[in-house]
Structure 1
Amino acid sequence: MPGHPRVGTGQLMELLSVSLGAYYGDFTAAAARENLTASQAKTLTVLRRGPAAMRVLAETLACDASNMTGIVDRLEKRSLVRREPSPGDRRVKNVVLTPEGEQTIDTIRATMHTTTAGLDALDDEDRATLHALLSRVFTAKQD
C-alpha cells in the first residue's frame, strides 16, 4: 500500500504471537473459572463444529490419543460431552457436545473480558477486515 512501510513476515509473526498469547491467557483463565483445563475447554470448542472421533480430536488438538481419552473421560464425567457410535462405523466412537457443554463454552467465551474488550474496540469495518484477513491466513482444515 502506498504510504505504508512494508511490514515483514517476522514482524507479523511476532505480533501474532503476542496476540495469541493474550488470547490464550484470557481463554485459560476463563476455563479455570469453570473448573476446566485449557485442553478440556479447547476440546469443547472443537466439538462446537460437530461430533468428532477421538482420533480426529487428538489430531486437531495435537495431543496423544491416550491424553485425549483422559480429557474426554473427565468431560464426560461432568456431562459436558458424551460418546456415541459413529453412524458410518459402529466400532468408532464419536464425541458429542452436550447442551451443558455448549453452555459451558458459551460461559467461557462470555468471560474472556480482555479479548472481548479488544475486539469491541474495533469498528464494523475493522472487524470485517480482521475477519477476512484471518480467514485468508488461517483457513479451516477440512476433514
Structure 2
Amino acid sequence: MTAHPSGADPLTLEVVDLIGSVVTSYHAEYEQAASQHELTGTQARVIALLSHQPLPMRRIAERLKCEPSNVTGIVDRLEARGLVERRPDPADRRVKLAAATERGTEVAAALRSSMAFAGEPLAELTPREREALRDLLRRMLDLPPA
C-alpha cells in the first residue's frame, strides 16, 4: 500500500468521498422537501429534532452547530406558524423547552416520508445489511449500540 499525503489509505479516501456524496445528496433533497412545506432546511431540521422530544434552545443550537440566538429566531418563526411551542421544563421551570406541536410532528413525518433519496437506496439493502450499516454509523458517531 502506498502512502498518501493525507496519511489515509485509498479505501479510506474512497469511503470518505462516498460519505460526502451521500451527505450532499441528502442535503439537496432535504432542502427541496423543506421548501415544499414553505420551510428552510434549518427550520425543517429543528422540527425534525423536536418531533422526537422537546429540547432547550441551547441543545438545539448544539445539534445545529449554531448560536442560541439564531435558534430563538427560528423557533419564533416556527411558533408563529403553529409548528412549535415553548413550554416550561418540568425539571427546571426557569428553562423553556421548544416542542413540536401536533401539526409540527405531522410536518416532520411528511418531510421524512417524502425523501426518496434515503428510502429508495436503503430499500435495496436486506434488513441485515441495513442493521449493519446502522450499527457502523452509530459506532462512527460514538453512539450507543441500538
TM-score category of the 2 structures, normalised to the smaller one: 0.7 to 0.9
Higher RCO (C-alpha under 8 Å, 6+ residues apart)? 1
1:42 aligned to 45, 51, 64, which one?
A: 45
Other structure's SS at 1:122 match: coil
CA contact (8 A) 1:26 1:115 kept: no
Tell me by how many angstroms 1:55 deviates: 1.0
Match of 1:90 in 2: 93
- Measure, in 1, the Cα distance between the counterparts of 2:143 and 2:81: 29
Alignment of 1:54-93 (within 5 A): 54-93=57-96
Match of 1:27 in 2: 30
Match of 1:124 in 2: 127
Which digits, 9 at most, give the CA deviation of each residue in 1:41-81, with x for residues without a partner? 11111113311111111111111111111100111111111
- Measure, in 2, the Cα distance between the counterparts of 1:78 and 1:139: 35
CA contact (8 A) 2:51 2:104 kept: no
- Measure, in 2, the Cα distance between the counterparts of 1:49 and 1:7: 38
- Measure, in 1, the Cα distance between the counterparts of 2:142 and 2:52: 14
Match of 2:5 in 1: none
- Measure, in 1, the Cα distance between the counterparts of 2:55 and 2:67: 15
Distance 1:134 1:79, change over 3 A: same
Unaligned runs of 5+ in 1: 1-5
Percent pairwise identity? 36
Question: With structure 1 as the length reference, what TM-score do the two structures score?
Answer: 0.87
CA contact (8 A) 1:82 1:98 kept: yes
Distance 1:7 1:125, change over 3 A: farther
- Measure, in 2, the Cα distance between the counterparts of 1:86 and 1:123: 41
Other structure's SS at 2:94 match: coil
Answering whether residue 75 of structure 2 is matched by residue 104 of structure 1, we say no
- Measure, in 2, the Cα distance between the counterparts of 1:95 and 1:86: 9
Other structure's SS at 2:111 match: helix
- Structure 1 stretches of 4+ with a deviation exceeding 4 A read none
Cα RMSD of the aligned pairs, angstroms, is 1.7
Matched residue type, 1:72: V
